[in-house]
Amino acid sequence: MILLVLMPGCTTPWGYGMANEEARENMEMKNLGIFDADDAEDTATDDSNDTLMRIDWIEGGDDLDWRGVQLILSIADEVYYCSINANQSCLIQQHGGDDDNLWEFGEIIFIFENGENIAGASGGVVEIHISYEGSKIIGTDSIYVV
């Protein structure tokens, strides 16, 4: 049998408050907002440089450092990582922001094929996965790219 006696004013273990305060100071809370994705106006082809989609923020959020953003597309069994740099199979192009290092609230982004035929001329359902520092950003789960 364990007997636990709580004295007035002593409801948490010693150091608990200090540890939580330090954790809060080290953790920057972000409002990730909500995004909406739509098929780009371009027609998908069998080339490897098509504009696939447009992504808008439809509800407010904090500006996000691109180093913490992970944008992944999947179609059928294939997975494609997207980046603002030209080193991935799909490219993120920013429109409307002031800082190229941030995905700013209100900024529109376009997703392009970058040397790889992702959708093809017949198009297909593309699943969209966007996260920031491991936390999923809420938004459109998939679109049909044509």
Q: Which residue has the higher pLDDT, 114 or 14?
A: 114
Is residue 9 situated within a structural domain?
no
Give residue 63's domain range.
34-145
CATH number of the domain enclosing 113? 2.60.40
102 vs 137: CA distance, rounded Å: 15
Residues 6+ apart with CB under 8 A from 34: 57, 58, 59, 61, 137, 138, 139
Q: Is the pLDDT of residue 125 over 90?
A: yes
Residues 6+ apart with CB under 8 A from 79: 72, 73
User: Into how many domains does the chain fold?
Assistant: 1
pTM of structure: 0.78
> Mean pLDDT over residues 32-56, rounded?
94
